[in-house]
């Protein structure tokens, strides 16, 4: 029996970008399920289907859907299915990011035009796509909470983070403009900014192990963030407890962002 408060009892929550049991999206979906929500987890393509079926089977009220947010037909199918089955949506978590591997090493100066466009489309613009599709479903419920995942590399230069840092800066501006647009309709939009976490996606960044150690040694709590802490913050942001918060970047990084040296 989970000790997680049932803060999302009766809510419908869509978590975009699940990949495996180490991903932030999975930790968030798991916590939402424990908190009483009906959870829909999405994954990018059929390579992840078998794994996602097994993961969802371990949760109460969990379903899964294949959806590449850059494909309009797949986005339409996802949100139409949610509307048909649940008649509305309360929460969206956008945990989607991608950059070409060669752009996560060396100099940002050498980023290709193709790499720039791919990183911004997948890591930033897909939030707008998701928010636009979720809006009519959230209006049926009287409002909702949308959140995305960012990183401090949007504000400070992190070696080898390169184009992803620029894309995360775009994502944060994107979040603020969406918060302004959707606020009058009682739809909140925020971002969580975890410290470096040892996910499969993060391991694609050159020197990531050094990044983990550096953050651990300098964060006020003298440790790295884990996915469970991010999931707890997401639960707060999805619930009515955060009803007065929108357009904000919420750090979940053991305090690392406050340090100068």
143 CB neighbour count, 10 Å cutoff: 15
How is residue 195 written in tokens?
């410290």
Closest C-alpha to 30, from 6, 60, 1: 60
Residues designated as active site:
151, 161
The DSSP bridge partners found for residue 249 are 191
CA-CA distance, 95 to 122, in Å (whole number)? 10
Q: In what order do the strands lie in the sheet with 187-194?
A: 62-66, 38-43, 12-16, 91-94, 144-149, 187-194, 249-252
Question: SS in 3 state form for 12-77?
Answer: EEEEECCCCCCCHHHHHHHHHHHCCCEEEEEECCHHHHHHHHHHHHCCCCEEEEECCCCCHHHHHH
Q: Which residues pair with 66 in a beta bridge?
A: 43
- Report the distance separating Cα 91 and Cα 10, nearest Å: 11
Rounded (10°) angle between helices 162-182 and 126-139:
20
Q: How far apart are CA 83 and CA 89, in angstroms?
A: 7
Q: CA 180 to CA 188: how far, in whole Å?
A: 9
Q: For residues 11 and 38, is the Cβ–Cβ distance under 8 A?
A: yes
């Amino acid at each position: 029996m989970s000790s997680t408060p049932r803060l999302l009892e009766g809510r419908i929550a869509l978590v975009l970008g699940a990949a495996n049991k180490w991903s932030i999206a999975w930790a968030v979906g798991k916590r939402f399920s424990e908190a009483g929500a009906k959870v829909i987890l999405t994954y990018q393509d059929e390579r992840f289907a078998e794994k996602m079926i097994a993961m969802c089977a371990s949760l109460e009220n969990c379903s899964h859907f294949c959806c590449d947010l850059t494909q309009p037909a797949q986005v339409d199918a996802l949100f139409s299915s949610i509307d048909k089955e649940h008649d509305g949506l309360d929460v969206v978590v956008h945990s989607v990011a991608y950059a070409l591997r060669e752009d996560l090493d060396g100099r940002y100066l050498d980023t290709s035009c193709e790499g720039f466009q791919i990183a911004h489309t997948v890591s930033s613009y897909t939030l707008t796509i998701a928010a636009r599709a979720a809006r009519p479903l959230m209006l049926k419920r009287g409002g909702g909470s949308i959140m995305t995942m960012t990183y401090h590399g949007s504000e400070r230069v992190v070696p080898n983070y390169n184009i992803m840092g620029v894309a995360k800066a775009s994502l944060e501006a994107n979040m603020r403009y969406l918060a302004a647009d959707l606020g009058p309709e009682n739809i909140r939009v925020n971002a969580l900014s975890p410290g470096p976490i040892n996910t499969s996606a993060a391991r694609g960044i050159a020197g990531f192990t050094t990044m983990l150690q550096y953050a651990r040694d300098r964060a006020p709590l003298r440790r790295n963030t884990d996915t469970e802490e991010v999931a707890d913050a997401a639960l707060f942001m999805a619930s009515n407890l955060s009803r007065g918060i929108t357009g904000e970047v919420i750090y979940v990084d053991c305090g690392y962002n406050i340090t100068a040296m």
